[in-house]
Chain A
Amino acid sequence: MAKIITVTSGKGGVGKTTSAAAIGTGLAQAGKRTVVIDFDVGLRNLDLVMGCERRVVFDFVNVIHDDIRVQQALIKDKRLDNLFILPASQTRDKDALDQEGVGRVLDELAKEFDFIVCDSPAGIERGALLALYFADEAVVVANPEVSSVRDSDRIIGILNSRSKRAESGDEQVKLHLLLTRYDAERVEQGEMLKTDDVLEILAIPLLGVIPHDKTVLAASNVGTPIVLEAGSIAGQAYQDSVKRLLGDDVPMRFVEPRRAGWFTRFLRRSA
């Protein structure tokens, strides 16, 4: 039976698609048959981040409305045999998705895959609500910043009250916090919310802390999921997070500032 994991946040631009691509790829690396679905109809981007944008033929909306079989729309990743992408439609709008249609596609995929990763659009409208409705687990992506944390709290409320599990009285959606763009040095300076602050407010278990890292942009420039970039500390932090998602107990890394020499510290202070 497939597990459905929704990557969501409320606020845009916090790293949902980067995280969905990284988690999907990490699960596939761990040997799990994984499909990542882009729910952002009208603004698809998962294809670009995962480097398969030129191979999109059919999309999620075609499968729901146009008699296209889901297997025809799936794009197989070039690097990993057990990783697939279901792209969103670029021409339709979010109302092209409906609960019954999405449920049907997920049921179909559940027969073939171990993990279905749903990349939610920003906001709390239809696409986002459908992306979380069927979730077994949810990864709430947040930046250590006031508007992101507030929106995450809102989305947690929606996960707890408007998901299928909440409606049917099943066990609640299992929630995970993924804190991204974390800058340990700025945290130490008191300029940025620290992990414990965010945890105290959101009160859900911590899946991982992804350090602010320039290689994330570089990887998306070339369409490589960040977990495949050897030597990237963000990539390693995502790999640790995937292990935790699979139940391993892995210590947090990259959450302490790297000890800078006195000269660097002097420069930073005067900046």
Chain B
Amino acid sequence: MKLLEFFLGNKSRTADTAKDRLKLIVVRDRASTGTGPDFLPMLQQDLLEVVRRYVEIDEDKVQIDVDRKGNLSMLEVNIELPGRYGN
């Protein structure tokens, strides 16, 4: 078996483990430090996924931003759909 691995180069793909671990830890880090708009990239990704259940849109068609004025923060979401939808 070892000999077969040697010739096929069947090493374990540790990069996949790295990616999975990172995904988890980054979410936890963001949750514990995220008072600011640190969560924006994830929110953007989530919104994109939801919209894509209905309409196929490009990654860059969902724009979100936090607008701050004094004590007020406003979440601005812009989603551009292809073509003309609805009535």
Q: A145 to chain B: which residues have CB within 8 Å?
A: 18
Which of B28-36, B49-57, B79-87 is the interface stretch? Answer: B28-36
Which of A71-79, A112-120, A152-160, A210-218 is the interface stretch? Answer: A152-160
B22 touches A161 (CB 8 A): no
Question: Which B-chain residue is minimally distant from A202 (CB atoms)?
Answer: B41
The answer for the CA separation of A197 and B19 in the assembled complex, in Å, is 7
B38 touches A157 (CB 8 A): yes
**Which of B11, B22, B26, B36 is within 8 Å of A191, CB to CB?**
B11
The B contact surface, by secondary structure, is helix
A146 touches B21 (CB 8 A): yes
* A187 in contact (CB, < 8 A): yes
Q: B14 to chain A: which residues have CB within 8 Å?
A: 190-191
**Which of A157, A169, A187, A192 is within 8 Å of B69, CB to CB?**
A169
B68 touches A169 (CB 8 A): yes
Q: B12 to chain A: which residues have CB within 8 Å?
A: 190
**Which of B23, B38, B41, B65 is within 8 Å of A161, CB to CB?**
B38
Question: Which B-chain residue is minimally distant from A160 (CB atoms)?
Answer: B37
**Which of B6, B25, B30, B67 is within 8 Å of A157, CB to CB?**
B30
A201 touches B21 (CB 8 A): no
Question: Which B-chain residue is minimally distant from A187 (CB atoms)?
Answer: B15
Number of A-B residue pairs having CB atoms within 8 Å of each other in the complex? 78
* A204 in contact (CB, < 8 A): yes
Given A154-B33, A204-B41: A146 and B18 within 8 A (CB)? yes
A146 touches B22 (CB 8 A): yes
B15 touches A197 (CB 8 A): yes
Q: A194 to chain B: which residues have CB within 8 Å?
A: 15
Q: B45 to chain A: which residues have CB within 8 Å?
A: 203
**Which of B11, B23, B29, B40 is within 8 Å of A160, CB to CB?**
B40
Question: Which A-chain residue is minimally distant from B40 (CB atoms)?
Answer: A160
The answer for the CA separation of A169 and B66 in the assembled complex, in Å, is 8
B19 touches A193 (CB 8 A): yes
* A264 in contact (CB, < 8 A): no
The answer for the CA separation of A197 and B18 in the assembled complex, in Å, is 9
Most chain B Cβ neighbours within 10 Å, of A150, A162, A194? A150
B22 touches A201 (CB 8 A): yes
The answer for the CA separation of A191 and B12 in the assembled complex, in Å, is 8
The answer for the CA separation of A239 and B7 in the assembled complex, in Å, is 39
Q: B21 to chain A: which residues have CB within 8 Å?
A: 146
B15 touches A190 (CB 8 A): yes
B15 touches A192 (CB 8 A): yes
Residues in A171-220 with C-beta less than 8 Å from chain B: 172, 187, 189-194, 197, 200-204
User: Which residues does A use to contact B, with CB under 8 Å?
Assistant: 145-146, 149-150, 153-154, 156-157, 160-162, 166-167, 169, 172, 187, 189-194, 197, 200-204, 269-270
User: Which residues does B use to contact A, with CB under 8 Å?
Assistant: 6-7, 9, 11-16, 18-19, 21-23, 25-26, 29-30, 33-38, 40-42, 44-45, 65, 67-69
- A-B contact list, 9 entries, CB within 8 Å: A146-B22, A161-B38, A190-B12, A197-B15, A197-B18, A201-B23, A202-B41, A204-B41, A269-B7
